[in-house]
Amino acid sequence: MQHFQLFIDGAFCEGATGQTMTTQNPATGQDWATFACASAQDVDRAVGAAKRALEDPAWRGLSQTARGKLLYKLADLIEVNAEHLGRIETTDSGKLLAETATQTRYVGDYYRYYAGLADKIEGAVLPIDKPDMHVFTRREPIGVVAAVVPWNAQMFLTATKLGPALAAGCTVVLKASEVAPAPMLEFARLIAEAGFPAGVVSVITGDAEGCAIPLTRHPDVDRIAFTGGPETARHVIRNSAENFAVTSLELGGKSPIIVFEDADLDGAANGLIAGNFGASGQSCVAGSRGLIHRPILKALIERIAEKAAGIVVGDPLDGATHIGPLCTKAQVVKIGDTLAKAQSQGATIHFGGAPLVRDGNYMAPTLVECAGPDTETLKVEMFGPVMSLLPFDTEEEAIALANHSDFGLGSGVFTRDLARAHRVSGRLRSGICWVNTYRAISPIAPFGGFNQSGYGREAGAEAVLDYTRTKTVWINTSEQPMANPFVMR
């Protein structure tokens, strides 16, 4: 089996306790690799190295343009190694190689985007209301960043944190999920090859007690960028009370896709399939609440079933496969329990509905017609290829149903009516709204949620500023000494 080490202070190493964990190939159910686990001692070493690197001339002394050049080099290395990293991610998580390699290649554009912004971080001269005072602001790195990423889109979610943090001049301790961490530990080799000074980026993984908790509550961490589930996020927020770290949260979702009767049915069916079966449903923006105008419900179900009949479920390394295995066996069990409860509530399963009998964590793509808005599949984030549809009769009802959720990450609207598209998208309580498309991303477009889908935004130009603090500088330009503070004028 392969073995992956931690990357701390510019060197690969085992954890201080010698603890290792084993990761399985979801396509076969067999162990395929081991990885070192970080302890509190390793976390302290990584954070200490990041704090030292902040003041080291090797990093602190670089011009903003020079930092950008390092990010450009990292982007080039990612593109060259996209197939290699994608194959490791596929073996470790079960995601399709076609997706992991393509997504990794595209991630290079995120680093290029932030490379270009590195020397665009500017201050301002203030038109101050005091005579003989020159006052200006400057943006300085916020400090040591704890970046915590999940397994399901780790190269992308790392780029949305690491790119702006490094462009701003911060240092980063990247904590990969203990589920399928291999690609992130391999990615550390590119950090070293790109020429980032030791300590600027460390990559660690491990369980909550040994790694995540000591990292997010460490007194020298200044900023936490977390992607994961709401329950874990609550612990992160509590931990941040120990260090007052500025925190952003990108959490889960139960995103609605509204299809109106004037929509193009082929486009809407493709949008629902992309939003639910793409990435095997293992996406935080999965459009798992399909809200369908009642007059077209039957026709749309038939269209989806026809398209789904051609979906190939199989080996994620095979280019002919459309849906691979789920990352963990626990997901398969959770989906089965959720579907059983939905059926007891009157839901109808039109196709799928059961695990596939084969090695690995395979779940058949599933379409559920729900009996009401409180059907279990409309409430639980299952992280699997399950599409739930619910009819509506009016635009107002569609908006109310869409907003009937604790989450608010993504949303979709399918309609040919431009006025309706603007009207409805403006009322949906979500951080992202796609109209007549779904799951599109870009380094230029901010990404984040409302409600229990978190706060803060990733990607976009403003994300760089979230990794800075504003300093205000006052300079007395008068030749006269400072006035007596006790003489009021």
- pLDDT score, position 357: 85
Q: Mind listing the pLDDT tens digit for each residue in 415-455?
A: 999 999 999 999 999 999 999 999 999 999 999 999 999 99
Mean pLDDT of 51-80: 98
CA atoms of 183 and 161, how far apart (whole Å): 16
CB atoms within 10 A of CB 58: 12
**Confidence at residue 6, expressed as pLDDT on a 0 to 100 scale:** 98
The runs of H, that is alpha helices, within 217-320 are 230-240, 265-277, 297-308
Asked if the domains at 2-251+449-473 and 256-435 fall in one CATH topology, the answer is: no
169-213 tens-digit pLDDT:
999 999 999 999 999 999 999 999 999 999 999 999 999 999 999
Please check the confidence at residue 69 and state whether its pLDDT lies above 90: yes
Contact 257, 414 (CB under 8 A): yes
Average pLDDT over residues 68-76: 98
Is 250 an annotated catalytic residue? yes
Cut 0.85: pTM above it: yes
And the tokens for 267?
């486009």
From the candidates 89, 99, 178, 250, which is the catalytic residue?
250
The pLDDT of residue 358 is 87
Q: Is the dihedral of CA 52, 58, 62, 67 positive or negative?
A: negative
pLDDT class of 488 with cuts at 50, 70, 90: confident
Placement of tokens 């603090």 in the chain? 469
Q: What is the CA radius of gyration of the chain?
A: 24
Tens-digit pLDDT profile for residues 81-136: 999 999 999 999 999 999 999 999 999 999 999 999 999 999 999 999 999 999 99
Domain residue spans of the chain = 2-251+449-473, 256-435
The tokens describing 16, both together, are: 């201080």
Is residue 427 within 8 A of residue 452, CB to CB? The reply is no
Work out the percent of the chain whose per-residue pLDDT is above 90: 98
Cα–chain-centroid distance for residue 168?
A: 20
Picking from 172, 211, 154, the residue whose alpha carbon sits closest to that of residue 9 is 172
Gap between the Cα atoms of 355 and 377, Å rounded: 16
Third-level CATH fold of 256-435: Aldehyde Dehydrogenase; Chain A, domain 2 (3.40.309)
pLDDT single digits (tens) 373-405: 999 999 999 999 999 999 999 999 999 999 999
350-361: pLDDT as tens digits:
999 999 988 999
| pLDDT, tens digit, 9 for 90 and up, residues 286-310 | 999 999 999 999 999 999 999 999 9
Which helix (H) or strand (E) segment is 32 a member of?
Answer: strand 30-36
Strand partners, 136: 125, 473
Q: Which CATH architecture has domain 2-251+449-473?
A: 3-Layer(aba) Sandwich (3.40)
Contact 89, 183 (CB under 8 A): yes
Q: Are 149 and 158 in contact (CB under 8 A)?
A: yes
What is the rounded distance in angstroms from the CA atom of residue 324 to the CA atom of residue 422?
36
CA-CA distance, 21 to 14, in Å (whole number)?
12
292 to 107, 272, 381: CA distances (angstroms): 34, 11, 20
Q: pLDDT at residue 489 above 90?
A: no
pLDDT at residue 285 in the model = 95
* pLDDT recorded at residue 172: 98
**Helix 64-80 crosses helix 97-117 at what angle (to 10 degrees)?**
170
Distance CA 181, CA 7 (A): 12
Single-letter residue type at 58: A
d(CA 116, CA 458): 16
Least confident of 24-33, 241-250, 372-381, 480-489: 480-489
Q: What are phi and psi of 48, to 5 degrees?
A: -60, -40
Question: How far apart are the C-alpha atoms of 48 and 30, rounded to whole Å?
Answer: 37
Reported confidence tier of residue 370, pLDDT bands at 50, 70, 90: very high
**225-255 pLDDT tens trace:** 999 999 999 999 999 999 999 999 999 899 9
